[in-house]
Chains A and B, each alone.
Chain A
Amino acid sequence: MPIDTIDRWINRYASRIRLGEFLKRGAEWGAAYLFAFGATVLVVKMLIPQAWPHVLWLGVGVVVALAAAWWLTRKPSQTRWQSVARLDAAINSGGLLMTLCERPADDWADRLPQIERLWHEAIPRVRPRRFAGYITLPLLFALGACFVPLRNASTAPTLYNTVGQQAAQELEELLNEIEKEQLLGEDEEQQLKKEVEKLTEETRDTPLTHEKWETVDALRERMKVRLETAAMSLAKARGAAALLADSNLSDTPQMSLERSEQLENDLAESLQKMMQKGGLAGVPKDLKEQLQRLMKNGKLQMPKDAGDRQELLDELKEYLDKENDKLNELRKKCSGCKSGQCDKEGECEGGQCEGNKSGSRPGKGGITRGRGDADLTFGDESDRQGAKFKEVVLPKGFRDQPKDEVLGVQKRAPDEEAAEVAPRAARQDVDPAAGQATWNRKLSPRHRNSVRRYFDSRETN
């Protein structure tokens, strides 16, 4: 076999070894690059989706990585004599090939195997199983990352502390309404204003804490108390005005003089209080002048003429009814009964959603974890041993008070409704919405947390 033919086979063998080294290095580099590329694509898709189409250009880098791997295999890790030794062993020439490469001798070259197939079989086959094993997973990862849906970028600015700000804003609006109706004294109004401003300031940058929630609650209750007081005065005045107006009518029984005088005093007292707080600012001018004229020394001097008297009382009654409507509206707002909490408009009564039937919906149970009208069955007391819930004394909840709202003041006996006097279980037959007040009862945040902790199975178990 000619020496140049031997050289050609050796070169072929060395090239094959170089290819193997390229596959080895290329697999490692390519896998690393594909993993990095996939991770980059994922990060871009999740965090900077605007850069999505452009990041695909990074995929070209894998070609660069493979080119670099090929470039580095120019200098193979094995020397030529190592390749020759391997080829020598493969053709089983007993070291003659190595010898001829170092000391060429034509007379010995003929002793090498002459069959080309033998040489061909000595060249190692390329079976890139390792290459495929290395590349497959990173390639799938990179492709998978490319097909991950793009996250929708929101252009709306992120809002923080919106709940607190909203609560403070509601309080501010309520205060403005109350201010408009002139239901507060000047000092109290300033004080409330200051506190609401402070709360607004605090909730602007810091998250809402339970202390702030309680502040919100306290302010709202304070306003509510003022509204209730005003409502009571107004109701008293309305009642007195209505009775006085009714007594002038010819078809009603004659009222005693003492009773009439008492009613006039009640009316005068109520009007006096309203005047002191500026509550008569919305009174028509004629009526206002008339009232100021009639009210001397804290007493109401009603006109002697029956016609004038009736006219005044009617005007006053009309005015007080209007004021009552306004006040009721304010009370609704103050009780936190907002749109969205009740199913329909007008269902808010005294801060509770009265008309809806949400109590029958699953998951809408109140603090009793059942319908308000459900039977209560008491068994033995639970063993407190091992209970992790630590009992804490909570401040008296504003909403724990029984219904103490003044619905109206009247001299006659209250009208009894069959539904109210009937036993609880039977009441629902008459009024399906019965028990909704308890059902929809709301707890202050701190109480709510306590209840949640008490029933939290993860802590108690």
Chain B
Amino acid sequence: MLSSDEGPPGKTVSARVPVAGKLLSPADVQRARSLTDRLLAELGRAILGQAELLELVAISLLARGHLLLEGLPGLGKTELIKSLSRLLGLSFRRVQFTPDLLPGDIIGSPILEEVDGRRRLVFHTGPIFANLVLADEINRASPKTQSALLEAMQERRVTVLGETHPLPFPFFVLATQNPIELEGTYPLPEAQLDRFTFKINVPGVSSETLQEIITTRRQGEPPELTQVLSESELVELFDFTDAIHLPTAVANYIARLVSATHPTRDEAPDEVRRFVKFGASPRAAIALAGTARAAALIHGKPNVGFDEVRRVARSVLGHRLILDYAARLEGWDSLKLVDRLLAVVPDVSGSIPEDLRA
């Protein structure tokens, strides 16, 4: 079933080329931080008691990554994405995934029309032609439909009958899935999962938050939100994110971290060797670097540090590890393994000589 809100149709904003080889100035970083703070503050007004989740969503947004939210119904997943579209002033489409949903229902299809007395096939765009696409309960659609998103998510374009149609910039797929009621669902294939930069588990809220919700929200209606970031400001944030410096040592750390997820590598810890079937792809390393940049910008830094990598590692690597059946038997899940990796992989390779102690 398709639905759309009252927002403007898909539009494309021009992307600026980031300034290469130059560190952001303190003023630039300060401005970026004020913009992101403004966004996060407004999001926090809409979604109560989920500060960490909101920050991860903002990081994913700045890194121009797709986001998969997993959580029980009623935790505000859909509301979060709708709020985001309102705050950014971007076009928004919501697609409710069902088993009978077809690829054409998402992408669009050519329809025979008579134009100027001549009949021709005219491509009618689907709901994917928007800046923000909410794929609600994505695991309920068939694999065929799910795979329709593959090209769109990676290449940011769709091809129908040999004709390629670019998607608007920026383009985000924000998907949700329900970890329960799995009967009649189709788990996302690994290739599809790999295209989501983040997979975030949406936690439940505290009793204080619940109390605040029922006292401040009539009928659960969210507050009225207005656009807080203009298109140019959003593009500016993207540029700032790209200009965040990734030092060699941190890049090396990311590389070693991703490499250690592979059970066949020398640097893999014992738990990875025992419980992981397939490790993270190079796309994971790219996502780690990109999201760490965004995290650094949100924290007002001109560069990425080891802390930023650790901050995003769980969300980036968690859904990219394919575990062996032994992991379930031993009570290990992917997030626990990522924590283990973060604990055993040192920030800097090598060690200082034993005769030296700081």
Partners in one complex: yes
Q: Identify which of residues 1-34 in chain A touch chain B, using a CB-to-CB cut-off of 8 Å.
A: 16-17, 19-21, 23-24, 27
- In the assembled complex, the Cα of A81 lies from the Cα of B251 at a distance in Å of 11
Stretch with Cβ within 8 A of B (4 or more), from A83-91, A224-232, A273-281, A363-371:
A83-91
Min Cβ gap A151→B in Å is 39
Interface size on B, residues (CB 8 A): 31
Q: Is B303 an interface residue (CB 8 A)?
A: yes
Q: A103-B23, A122-B358, A125-B356 are in contact. Are A96 and B301 (CB under 8 A)?
A: yes
Task: Tell me whether A24 and B350 are in contact (CB under 8 A).
Answer: no
Partner of B303, one of A17, A24, A98, A126: A98
Task: Tell me whether A130 and B247 are in contact (CB under 8 A).
Answer: no
Q: Is A153 an interface residue (CB 8 A)?
A: no
Min Cβ gap B75→A in Å is 33
Q: Is B22 an interface residue (CB 8 A)?
A: yes
Min Cβ gap B25→A in Å is 6
Contacts of A129 in B (CB 8 A): 354-355
Q: Is B219 an interface residue (CB 8 A)?
A: no
Q: Is B305 an interface residue (CB 8 A)?
A: yes
Task: Tell me whether A94 and B353 are in contact (CB under 8 A).
Answer: no
Task: Tell me whether B356 and A19 are in contact (CB under 8 A).
Answer: yes
Partner of A81, one of B21, B245, B249, B352: B249
Task: Tell me whether B23 and A124 are in contact (CB under 8 A).
Answer: no
Q: A20-B355, A85-B348, A131-B355 are in contact. Are A98 and B23 (CB under 8 A)?
A: no
Task: Tell me whether B348 and A107 are in contact (CB under 8 A).
Answer: no
Q: A16-B356, A99-B23, A124-B356 are in contact. Are A77 and B249 (CB under 8 A)?
A: no
Q: Is B306 an interface residue (CB 8 A)?
A: yes
Task: Tell me whether A94 and B23 are in contact (CB under 8 A).
Answer: no
Q: Is B307 an interface residue (CB 8 A)?
A: yes
Min Cβ gap A6→B in Å is 14
Q: Is A254 an interface residue (CB 8 A)?
A: no
- In the assembled complex, the Cα of A154 lies from the Cα of B310 at a distance in Å of 76
- In the assembled complex, the Cα of A107 lies from the Cα of B249 at a distance in Å of 22
Task: Tell me whether A107 and B350 are in contact (CB under 8 A).
Answer: no
- In the assembled complex, the Cα of A189 lies from the Cα of B91 at a distance in Å of 138
Min Cβ gap B255→A in Å is 13
Q: Is B357 an interface residue (CB 8 A)?
A: yes
Task: Tell me whether A99 and B303 are in contact (CB under 8 A).
Answer: yes
Q: Majority SS of interface residues in chain B?
A: loop
Task: Tell me whether B248 and A124 are in contact (CB under 8 A).
Answer: no
Q: Is B250 an interface residue (CB 8 A)?
A: yes
- In the assembled complex, the Cα of A128 lies from the Cα of B248 at a distance in Å of 31
Please indicate which of the listed interface residues A17, A86, A101 has the most CB atoms of chain B within 10 Å of its own CB.
Answer: A86
- In the assembled complex, the Cα of A290 lies from the Cα of B271 at a distance in Å of 123
Contacts of A84 in B (CB 8 A): 249
Q: Mark B318-356, 1 if CB is under 8 A from A, else 0.
A: 000000000000000000000000000001111011111
Q: A81-B248, A89-B347, A99-B247 are in contact. Are A127 and B22 (CB under 8 A)?
A: no
Q: Is B203 an interface residue (CB 8 A)?
A: no
Contacts of B296 in A (CB 8 A): 95
Q: Is B263 an interface residue (CB 8 A)?
A: no
Please indicate which of the listed interface residues A81, A99, A126 has the most CB atoms of chain B within 10 Å of its own CB.
Answer: A99
Contacts of B304 in A (CB 8 A): 95
Task: Tell me whether B26 and A108 are in contact (CB under 8 A).
Answer: yes
Q: A86-B348, A96-B301, A107-B25 are in contact. Are A127 and B249 (CB under 8 A)?
A: no
- In the assembled complex, the Cα of A88 lies from the Cα of B354 at a distance in Å of 20
Q: Is B302 an interface residue (CB 8 A)?
A: yes
Min Cβ gap A402→B in Å is 85
Task: Tell me whether A125 and B303 are in contact (CB under 8 A).
Answer: no
Min Cβ gap B33→A in Å is 14
Task: Tell me whether B358 and A85 are in contact (CB under 8 A).
Answer: no
Q: Identify which of residues 88-143 in chain A touch chain B, using a CB-to-CB cut-off of 8 Å.
A: 88-90, 94-96, 98-99, 101-103, 105, 107-108, 111, 121-131
Task: Tell me whether A102 and B245 are in contact (CB under 8 A).
Answer: yes
- In the assembled complex, the Cα of A131 lies from the Cα of B356 at a distance in Å of 11
Task: Tell me whether B354 and A78 are in contact (CB under 8 A).
Answer: no
Min Cβ gap B240→A in Å is 15
Min Cβ gap B125→A in Å is 43
- Between-chain CB contacts (< 8 Å), 27 pairs: A20-B355, A23-B353, A81-B249, A82-B348, A84-B249, A85-B249, A88-B249, A89-B348, A95-B249, A95-B301, A95-B306, A96-B301, A98-B247, A99-B302, A101-B247, A102-B248, A103-B21, A103-B23, A105-B23, A107-B26, A108-B302, A124-B356, A124-B358, A125-B357, A126-B355, A127-B355, A128-B355
Known contacts A17-B352, A95-B303, then 5 further A-B pairs from the complex at CB < 8 Å, ordered by chain A residue? A20-B352, A99-B302, A105-B25, A124-B357, A130-B354
For the complex of A and B, 4 pairs with smallest distance between CB atoms? A20-B353, A95-B305, A85-B249, A98-B247
